[in-house]
Amino acid sequence: MRLATLILALLTLSACVPKNVQVVQPLPDELLGQLDVQNVTVSYSQLAQDRIQKIDLERKVEGEKSSEPELVSYKPLSTVLADITKNRLEQRDEDSQRFVDIKIEIDNLKLVNPVAAVLIGDVDQLSGSVKAVDSATGETVTECYVDVINGSGGLLGLAIRGAGAREKISAQFSDFIGDHLGYKKLDVR
């Protein structure tokens, strides 16, 4: 019995249905696809800050001692997610006069434990609150909660998942933001 399969079954059977985007404050119809993103900032909520900052610090120390390019160029999740989101939203948004800043507050980043993935299955997860605030007034234009969960069971799952899991799940996270803002789809996701 694989734990990941069981978790997914339980999620399906429970009274809640997992949604990738949960709308907290809807975006008015007339603003769909009409917001021009200026800045993206990422912070960690109290649920996440200790765990994620600990991982970031450990990787930074490893990078200072190592000569491996991947470790030397390691960036914290807040930087990776902010850069990817800004980049992907810029590719999708239209020119508009309604300037907004995107504020992301991450609650959870969980990456697959390779040993657990081979033995019983495991998941990657990135979740957090997203607010689009008016750049001029600071007023919240829309708010949603994004939860990306990717199953990765067994050796095959790990092989398909490959490297750069943080970057991949960050790209998915930012695509859900773009969908919520009503942006046009990218040709290749």
Instruction: Enumerate binding residues for other proteins (CB under 8 A).
Output: 1, 3, 6-7, 10-11, 14-16, 18, 22, 24, 45-47, 107-108, 120, 127, 129, 145, 147
Q: Token pair for residue 164?
A: 């750069």
3 vs 118 by CB, closer to other proteins: 3
CA separation for the pair 141, 24 (Å, rounded):
11
22 vs 83 by CB, closer to other proteins: 22
74 vs 81 by CB, closer to other proteins: 81
- Min. distance of Cβ 176 from other proteins in angstroms? 14
Gyration radius (Cα) of the chain, Å: 18
145 vs 167 by CB, closer to other proteins: 145
- Min. distance of Cβ 71 from other proteins in angstroms? 27
CB 142 within 8 A of CB 25: yes
Smallest CA-to-CA distance from 111 within 183, 164, 69 is with 164
- Min. distance of Cβ 108 from other proteins in angstroms? 6
Name residues whose C-beta falls within 8 Å of residue 43's C-beta, 6 or more positions apart in sequence: 78, 103, 104, 105, 106
CB 150 within 8 A of CB 169: yes
CA separation for the pair 37, 102 (Å, rounded):
7
- Min. distance of Cβ 11 from other proteins in angstroms? 6
75 vs 110 by CB, closer to other proteins: 110
Smallest CA-to-CA distance from 51 within 4, 103, 111 is with 111
- Min. distance of Cβ 26 from other proteins in angstroms? 13
